Structure 1
Amino acid sequence: MVLNQEKPAKKPFKAHSKKRVPDSSSELAGPPKAGLETRMVASKLLSAAIDKKISLDGMLDPVHGNPAYKQLSDADRALARAILVTSLRHLPRLEAAISAMLDSPLPEGARALHHVLVVAAAQILHLDVPSHAVVDVAVEQANRDPRNRRFAKLVNAVLRRLVREKEAVLEQTASVSPVPEWFFGRLADAYGIEAAREMAEAQLVPPTIDLTVKSDPEAWVERLQGRLLPTGSVRLPAFEGAVSSLPGYEDGEWWVQDVAASIPAKLFGDIRGKRIADLCAAPGGKTAQLAAAGAEVIAVELSANRLARLKENFTRLGLSAHLVQEDLFQFAPDELLDGVLLDAPCSSTGTTRRHPDVLWTKGPGDIAKLAALQAKMLRHAVKLVKPGGLIVFSNCSLDPLEGEQLVANLLAEDKGLERVPVDPKDWPGLEEAVSAVGEFRTTPAMLPATEGFPGGLDGFFASVLRRR
């Protein structure tokens, strides 16, 4: 069952103002307009994400990312990133808004034109960019592309109308679900229509910055003017600047970690002196939690680059762990462990506040493949712990196929395992995240906002298992 995502009727809006927006469809003259290259890069990368299913994180990597993106100035890269993230967060509504401005659909195959319009519409409707500049640059962008040149006047007309009718457009398209139909359908099947709607809307809210602190969270709340969360994490208020400039960073007193991501490591309880392996360790937030809690930690990671990043983080934090570069399926400790944390690679559908491209680069087939891989990983993880040892399995997917169903299937096939239920009384403020069988299930719609601080958290699943 899915939310009705019918597009608004053609031309349903009346202009709210007769103020004229300058016509920008004239022939090109002179040097390129300021900001043209940034918008061209944004359109190109939007196409790569939507049409070619390429991850935005990889393309925006400052070292190994897209060459055109890397050539932009720091300010232009920040703008390109903002345009891309906004375009992907609001994509169905932006497409509905554009469609409502047209007498007939865009020509079949006019994907380059589609991306130019989406990038411009995202700026007009959701970003603090002068609308006249957006229109000017979009028209020039169309004129400079042989595929779009004949549509330059259409681009001008559509965007000028969006500027005039912005408030009405936003109101009309608010009824369109901001997530793909396939994803909304899976949410509705798993959680119900109303909860699915809440999660879809929650992914529009920009992510918060949460910190995991080594000790004395109340003191860090006061020092950083933050909000204390139910897990002991500290949520920062909105601020401009680098996180590394904040007090405590250089001293290694805290690290950035979404509040939901901090939960799995806490589910082991008291681990002082126990041997715990983190099987998918990098970038190391959960590994750091285990080490800070007094465990003897073995950090297993296949990627040499990611393991090097983990090592850098541990140096700053003043923590230690035994680092192992190895495929987890080949990892075999000299003696069985007290516990294993498997935060498995997944579809990442719980992190769309941070990574909105996930909904457009992945689909149901990817979820099924990843669930099968996770099940294989979990079966191997079970073999690494001694009788009575714990396995904490987690991931940042909202799909039960990668969480509740996967664990239920494993428990049905392996009678040497039992679930260790989480007690909701131990998690005041997050009781709703503990299921009837004692598993953790957070969603982006949980954790209400408070004055000065946005709400929400990543979608996470976590289950505690014990080897008999």
Structure 2
Amino acid sequence: MSETGVQARRSAVYLLDQVLGEGRLMSELIGGGVLDRLGPDDRARAQRLALETLRGLERADRILQRHLQKQPPLSVHNVLRLATVELCQGGAAHGVVNASVTIVSKNKRTQPMKGLVNAVLRKVAAKGPEAWEALRAPRLPRWLRDPLAMAYGSDGVGAMERAHFAGAPLDLTAKSDPEALAKLVGGTLLPTGSVRVNAGQQVSTLPGYDTGDWWVQDAAAAMPVQILAPQKGEKILDLCAAPGGKTMQIAASGAAVTAVDDSEGRMKRLKENLDRTGLKAKTRVSDVLEMSGQWDAILLDAPCSATGTIRRHPDLPHAKDGSDFGELISLQAQMIDHAVSLLKPGGRLVFCTCSLLPDEGECQVEEALERHSDLSVDREAILRLGLAEEWMTEEGGLRLRPDYWSDLGGMDGFYMASLRKNSH
């Protein structure tokens, strides 16, 4: 067993320990440099192994239950979980078992359990793959599953859980010519113009990356700007803009866009993305609620629970418990109210969240319409996308779910609505 193979797996176990033991998000861990000591290949492998383990956690635990009399310490449990997912997804038994035993052997606290790890994983290697295929898709935790079942029914939640377990492909937004990009990268042109390629490819090696012909952006995340329909010469404000996918879409239209975000670090990424693509935008690090001026159009991609991104971020249901959602919902309402005050008469506001919770979508727009008598919903802006009409919501927004376009590989869960400020 190569040391690099062990290092990648050990780092993956550390990520699992932090998510499942400390409630930390993978994005915080990766952004904080916990994998920086690894080479690029091992860094990518560690992240992939941790994500696949989180995605299949319930299945792994059900298989391990058959071979464990009691639950081991978290770190050992996570070694077993990671190995079980690898074994059940076709990993070579010899390499996976040996690496797992090596990992627990190198820690004085876990060293006495190397015999248990060896014995359990040999049983999993023999019978686990067949058992794995017979198990249902892992379920969301109750704190999230219950409100989603109220909104979409148990069948709807089950469909979403299957989409989460399947993971997500990679979507690209073209700077100018989606059809040409699809041919260039060998991808599929989606109905709304995004280009879909297989996940697992190194983004920076795809054709057109160095020349800035495209950027990574889920197809659902690209739709709010398509609804906004920015026009050349318009003065547009992109609130909560980083990492900049929507800013680049607006800039590519020829509109004059100002991108606002309250994080220096995230805004640095946005500027890097603008530089790579050769697109122009004004940038400002600021609290959204402190912005001023009058704007032709505003895009507000408000901070939210991010529950629509679980197929890409399977750590989220394990690292969060829903306790901070009330604060987010209140902030969204404040941001909507402030954005309305910045709109010129006749101006339009697209509000969106990457959330599956109606409280962060449909309910926000219903309540905003009650608070602002000069606002109306522009249903036509959404209908122009040519999507399934049943995805339209009662108040006139668009509800997207991860199980939509299942034959094409799904999409992130999103809510979006186009609001117009009356001219008089």
TM-score by shorter chain over 0.5: yes
Partner Cα distance (2:273, 2:3) in 1: 42
Matched, 1:368 2:326: yes
The corresponding residue for 1:24 is: none
Cα 1:249–1:44 shift into 2, 3 Å: closer
The corresponding residue for 1:37 is: 7
Contact map agreement 2:347 2:420 (CA 8 A) in 1:
yes
- Aligned partner (choices 197, 208, 214) of residue 254 of structure 1: 214
How far 1:297 moved relative to its partner? 0.9
The corresponding residue for 1:383 is: 341
In the TM superposition, what are the counterparts of 1:67-216 in structure 2 within 5 Å? 69-102=35-68, 104-106=69-71, 110-126=73-89, 128-172=90-134, 174-175=135-136, 177-216=138-177
Matched, 1:272 2:225: no
Contact map agreement 1:112 1:147 (CA 8 A) in 2:
no
Q: What is the TM-score normalised by the length of structure 1?
A: 0.84
Partner Cα distance (2:419, 2:286) in 1: 24
The corresponding residue for 2:249 is: 289
How far 1:344 moved relative to its partner? 1.1
Contact map agreement 2:355 2:415 (CA 8 A) in 1:
yes
Partner Cα distance (1:415, 1:213) in 2: 38
Contact map agreement 2:76 2:110 (CA 8 A) in 1:
yes
Partner Cα distance (1:151, 1:76) in 2: 26
Letter in 2 for 1:105: K
Matched, 1:58 2:16: no
Greater mean alpha carbon deviation, residues 142-151 or residues 383-392: 142-151
Cα 1:73–1:113 shift into 2, 3 Å: same
Matched, 1:426 2:380: no
Equivalent residue of 2:192, what SS? coil
Letter in 2 for 1:58: E
Equivalent residue of 1:192, what SS? helix
Letter in 2 for 1:411: L
- How large is the Cα RMSD of the aligned pairs? 2.2
Equivalent residue of 1:105, what SS? coil
The corresponding residue for 2:288 is: 328
Matched, 1:243 2:213: no
Cα 1:34–1:304 shift into 2, 3 Å: closer
Partner Cα distance (1:306, 1:175) in 2: 38
Partner Cα distance (2:79, 2:169) in 1: 29
Partner Cα distance (1:223, 1:37) in 2: 36
Partner Cα distance (1:394, 1:175) in 2: 32
Contact map agreement 2:227 2:381 (CA 8 A) in 1:
no
Partner Cα distance (2:272, 2:79) in 1: 40
In the TM superposition, what are the counterparts of 1:211-226 in structure 2 within 5 Å? 211-226=172-187
Cα 1:249–1:148 shift into 2, 3 Å: closer
Partner Cα distance (2:387, 2:227) in 1: 16
Unmatched 5+ stretches in structure 2: none
Partner Cα distance (1:188, 1:83) in 2: 30
Partner Cα distance (2:352, 2:411) in 1: 15
Cα 1:140–1:246 shift into 2, 3 Å: closer
- Encode CA deviations 1:199-238: one digit per residue, 9 max, x unaligned: 0010122322212113332233233332111211122246
- Rg (Cα) greater in structure: 1
Contact map agreement 1:217 1:233 (CA 8 A) in 2:
yes
Partner Cα distance (2:372, 2:94) in 1: 64
Equivalent residue of 1:278, what SS? strand
- Encode CA deviations 1:326-372: one digit per residue, 9 max, x unaligned: 11111112xx1111111011111111122111111112212222212
Q: What is the TM-score normalised by the length of structure 2?
A: 0.93
- Encode CA deviations 1:424-459: one digit per residue, 9 max, x unaligned: 64233444432243211111111133xxxx511111
Letter in 1 for 2:41: A
Greater mean alpha carbon deviation, residues 197-206 or residues 267-276: 267-276
